Structure 1
Amino acid sequence: MKAAIIGYGKMGREIERILAERGHETALIIDTDNAAELDAAHLAGIDVAIEFTTPQTAYDNIRTCLEAGTAVVSGTTGWTERLPELEELCRRRDGAMFYASNYCLGVNLLFRLNRELAAMIERLGAAYDVRIEEIHHTQKKDAPSGTAITLAEGVIGNLSAKKSWVNHAPGIECAAHRIDSPADAAPDQLVIGSLREGSVPGTHTVAYESEDDLLELRHTIKNRRTLALGAVVAAEFLCGRKGVYGMEDLMK
């Protein structure tokens, strides 16, 4: 597989290492200093582009790949209100794209467990409130994380007591990392607390609490390798396919 890496930060370098380990060729690397080279001419012959950049650049990067006829895998978060536009473009051009907010297998198992737990609580009519906490490194540019938003959507889609989510801004002081609902949060709002600390790759907690007990689902990423490996596996999956895919398709 001939791959392009779009975004050559820590994730991009880890992706490059894993591509080499799995016998693939990194034929093109695009970063801020050569962003103008992301065009059809440079993408010619590329099987799959793997895009991890910024919320400000992701849309244009992915669109360029699709318009050039290049399959693209993206894990950039913080911009996905425009994702449906690119999915439609992909289908219209008979292209291929794969998007996930998190490429770690364990996180995607967490997504499923969270949806099922919310649905069970709904069926039982149990009086549990829900909150989400996400902790990431200080270099992360968006808040809440895409993973936290996906978790929130899993709750909102299955628990009628929650209608929307609200973010408690990064940098807040919380004893023992405990995120409580801000005073102005409505009862039907799901609070996502965001903390930015050191070099933490990512910790996500979904807490279901009643007057009598506390039930928590938590996932902690130990290093970026698990995310990079998932992105490369997604690229392998996408190579030769047409259509729009995500981690649910890969896990099947």
Structure 2
Amino acid sequence: MNIAILGYGKMGKIIEKMATERGHSVPLKVGREGFVASDLDDIDVAIDFSLPSVAFENITACLKAGVPVVSGTTGWLEKKPEVEALCKEVNGSFLYASNFSLGVNLFFALNKHLANLMNPHDYRASMLEVHHTQKLDAPSGTAITLAEDLIDNSDSLSSWKLVEKNEDAEKGELPIRAERVDPTPGTHVINYSSEIDDIEIKHTAHNRNGFALGAVIAAEFLFENPGIQTMNNVLGLN
């Protein structure tokens, strides 16, 4: 495949390395200079890891040009319904994930299952996420996905709250603590605590390679499977 990388920062460079190792070409790499529709003429799939301020424009430009697009950019999701509507309108292909790591997506599935198991029992849930100091959003997109899935499978929680300590959350709020420590690529911990014991699940990334590899695998899947897709579809978790 010919892959366009939209957002050629640290992650974009690792994605390029993973893509070429898997036999793909990367003829278009877009940094701050942007691109025009004609740049996409020979592109099979675009992978967007840009900034929240330009992600929506990048994605819609790809869809209008008939190019399937995989997006891992967070911070623009209030416009995601518009993207999905456009994708259906132009019969395009789109896949968004807050995290493309195959391990994290398995962790998402485990988190949902554990939330269901814990729901009838008297435990207080909380979350900790740790990233490097260049991480702009807090909590992370991955943490928000984990929180939303946990809340959807809990009768006692209705929202999440970013806190400095767990006690700052009210009843019905899932407390999320976000720490920024270099050189952490990403750690997410879900804890269930009672007076008797604690139950905890944890995912720790050792580097960014897993995120990049997952994005390339998602692009390969989307190229062969048009429409609006998810990482659950990529991994066969549905």
TM-score for both structures, normalised by structure 1: 0.91
Residue matched to 2:5:
5
The offset of 1:180, in angstroms, is 2.2
CA distance in 1, matches of 2:13, 2:63: 23
Aligned to 2:234: 250
Q: After alignment, is 72-81 or 157-166 more displaced?
A: 72-81
Q: 2:194 maps to which residue?
A: 210
Distance 1:211 1:126 in 2: 12
Task: Specify the alignment match of 1:28 in structure 2.
Answer: 28
What is the distance in 2 between the residues matched to 1:40 and 1:69?
A: 10
d(CA) in 2 for partners of 1:58 and 1:141? Answer: 15
Structure 2 match to 1:164: 159
User: Any idea what the Cα deviations from partners look like across 1:188-241, whole Å, max 9, x if unmatched?
Assistant: 011111111112110000011111111111000000011000000101111143
Contact in 2 for aligned 1:78/1:143 (Cα 8 Å): no
After TM superposition, the structure 1 = structure 2 runs for residues 142-181 of structure 1, keeping only pairs within 5 Å, are 142-168=137-163, 179-181=165-167
One-letter code aligned to 2:176:
I
Q: Distance in 2 between matches of 1:57 and 1:140?
A: 17
Q: Is the 8 A contact 2:166 2:176 kept in 1?
A: no
Task: Measure the CA separation in 2 of the matches of 1:111 and 1:181.
Answer: 25
Percent identity between the two aligned chains: 48
Alpha-carbon deviations, 1:166-201, whole Å to 9, x = none? 112xxx5xxxxxx5231xx22101111111111211
Partner of 1:175: none
- Indicate the SS of the match to 1:132: strand
Structure 1 runs (4+) deviating above 6 angstroms are none
Unaligned runs of 5+ in 2: none
8 Å CA contact 1:166–1:189 kept in 2: the answer is: yes
1:134 aligns with 2:120: no
Q: Work out the CA distance in 2 between the residues paired with 1:198 and 1:48.
A: 33
Q: Distance in 1 between matches of 2:57 and 2:111?
A: 32
**Structure 1 position 92, deviation (Å):** 1.0
Structure 1 counterpart of 2:185, from 188, 192, 201: 201
Coordinate RMSD, CA, aligned: 1.1
**Does the CA contact (< 8 Å) of 1:55 and 1:142 recur in 2?**
no
Q: 2: distance between equivalents of 1:92 and 1:115?
A: 32
Return the offset for 1:65. 0.9
Which whole-Å CA distance do the structure 2 matches of 1:57 and 1:144 have between them?
A: 20
Equivalent residue of 2:19, what SS? Answer: helix
Give yes or no for contact 1:128–1:210 (8 Å, CA) kept in 2.
yes
Q: 2 CA distance for matches of 1:237 and 1:181?
A: 43
Q: Which residue does the alignment assign to 2:211?
A: 227
How many residues were matched structurally?
A: 236
Note if contact 1:201-1:221 (Cα within 8 Å) is conserved in structure 2: yes
The answer on 1:186 being equivalent to 2:181 is: no
Q: How do 1:117-128 residues align onto structure 2 when only pairs under 5 Å count?
A: 117-122=114-119, 125-128=120-123
Contact 2:75/2:137 (<8 A) preserved: yes
Query: CA contact under 8 A between 2:5 and 2:46: conserved in structure 1?
Result: yes
